[in-house]
Amino acid sequence: MMFRLKIPYFSFVLVLACAAVAVTDAVAQSNDEDAHLAIENPADLTKDDAREIYDSLQRRMARGYAAAQLDLLLNYQNWPLYNDAPYISETHGRRFVNSYANRMAYNYATLTEGEKLPVGSVLAKDSVTVTDEGKSHPGAMFVMQKLAEGANPATADWRYIMVMPDGSLFGDTLGDRANAVAYCHDCHEAVADRDYTFFVPEEYLVDN
């Protein structure tokens, strides 16, 4: 039976607070005024429109993220995709995101309360920013990697990485600028019962 996420009020407030932090940090990442507007005013897209925009940017995004030279993201676009179209994620700067998981994370879609993902699981959300004026460009990639038990108790043995569209690392909880992505785990604590992982909105679910 698939676990259905029910977030209590205090957790909902935390998620909204994290969304505000994500938007603030995202604005700080770029000097491009269009990027600022895109985050604050995302377009209202149909699923078909969102797919078309993503498809037009997909290769460019893959090349950009690959410049980070992170082996754990090799060929991520060939991993199982858990949404049927890019969807707006409030906790990722109001960008349109896709939710990928590597083969190790075989139980990502069916996690029950208290269950955990295997060590080596990697979850990746790439993103596209689309303004209400129709402008679009690649956004950051958000990555979670499940570490061995006891590897990093402060983040419940999860590693968080944020990769910019040009492949530069905005932050890595196990590397450079760890503090820049520390808020990621603060948000994910709202879903600790699901091994700290959010899942795709029900209306965007796809079977794998």
pLDDT digits over 178-199, tens only?
999 999 999 999 999 999 999 9
Predicted confidence at residue 106, as pLDDT, reads 97
| pLDDT tens-digit readout, 91-142 | 898 899 999 999 999 999 999 998 999 999 999 999 999 988 888 999 999 9
Cα 146 from Cα 144, distance rounded (Å): 7
The mean pLDDT of the chain is: 84
| Residue 129 in tokens | 């920013």
| pLDDT greater than 90 at residue 8 | no
Check residue 39 and give its pLDDT: 60
Residues 6+ apart with CB under 8 A from 159: 143, 144, 145, 146, 147, 152, 172, 173, 174
Band (81; pLDDT cuts 50, 70, 90):
very high
| Residue range 40-46: mean pLDDT, rounded | 87
pLDDT at 41: 79
Tokens 């049927």 belong to 84
